[in-house]
Amino acid sequence: MTYFPQPNPTNRARRLKVGGSVVVAIRSEGAQPVRAKLHEVSATGGLLVLSKALEQGDFVEVAFQTSKGTVHGMAELLAARCESTSGCLQAFRFVALDDEDHTRLRMALESLIDQTMVGVPSSKRPSL
């Protein structure tokens, strides 16, 4: 069964900064695969660091490794902010996740929240 995340405009999903360098594989139909780094993540989407922005509105497949296993999902690319030296930050929102992927993502987020609540310094915190 597939899970379709439904963002709640009045109660935004908690976004967490990702420690370390979590690589995201991005595939879109008819284009070469692209690699990015995950900067922030939530149950409904996240923020990518890219060398150059991708097309806003495109639907892509994303995959990244978490402490609970690989998460694969379909996502829509949102607006990008390009910064001259560090590349671009581009938001995405999940549009579909398999139930297993949704469970892995939720468990990884809970683990990251627990580490944050314990007060582990971000430099020593394990990545997602």
CATH code, domain carrying 57: 2.40.10.220
User: Which residue from 56, 67, 65, 51 is spatially nearest to 28, judged by alpha carbons?
Assistant: 56
The pTM (predicted TM-score) of the whole model is 0.81
Domain count, the chain: 1
Tokens 């030296």 belong to 85
Residue 125 within any structural domain of the chain:
no
Task: Please list, residue by residue across 67-78, b when 16 or more beta carbons sit within 10 angstroms of its beta carbon and e when fewer do.
Answer: ebeebbbebebe
Residue 26 within any structural domain of the chain:
yes
User: What pLDDT does residue 5 have?
Assistant: 66
Interatomic CA distance for residues 73 and 93, integer angstroms: 10
Interatomic CA distance for residues 37 and 42, integer angstroms: 15
∠ CA 63-69-72, rounded to 5°: 25
Interatomic CA distance for residues 110 and 107, integer angstroms: 5
- Helix %, strand %, coil % of the chain (to 5): 15, 50, 35
User: What pLDDT does residue 75 have?
Assistant: 97
Using one digit for the tens of pLDDT, what is the confidence trace for 115-125? 766 555 555 54
Residue 124 within any structural domain of the chain:
no
Using one digit for the tens of pLDDT, what is the confidence trace for 50-92? 999 999 999 999 999 998 999 999 999 999 998 767 789 999 9
Residue 89 within any structural domain of the chain:
yes
Residue 123 within any structural domain of the chain:
no
Tell me which residue range forms the domain holding 58. Answer: 6-118
